[in-house]
Amino acid sequence: MNWHSSDHFAPLMLVMGGQEKYRLVSSLREVAETLIGEWQSEDGEEYMAAVKICLDAIHGKLSAQEARDAPIRAADEAGIPVIRVVH
């Protein structure tokens, strides 16, 4: 899978703190950047699972849908509101 592509990845809007309050995530690359560089809490089980799932999807071992679902669960764990875009 091309991790820069958003062909099979329905966008998510994460309502985060900091300078960029709203973070649009529409590709595996953006999921990885958000999880690694902007996540508010890096110690939850769902967070750790989301990082692994994202890396597995980048390497073609999992689907983009699985990679999309993982940060939703991590956001729920961290108390980060998510606005889901439905295709």
For 67-76, what is each residue's pLDDT tens digit? 889 999 999 9
The string over 26-64, giving b where at least 16 C-beta atoms fall within 10 Å of a residue's C-beta and e elsewhere, is: bbbbbbbebbeeebeeeeeebbeebbebbbebbeeebeb
Enter the pTM of the model. 0.82
Residue 86 is predicted with a pLDDT of 67
Enter the tokens of residue 37.
């560089």
Task: Name residues of the chain where pLDDT drops below 70.
Answer: 1-8, 18-20, 86-87
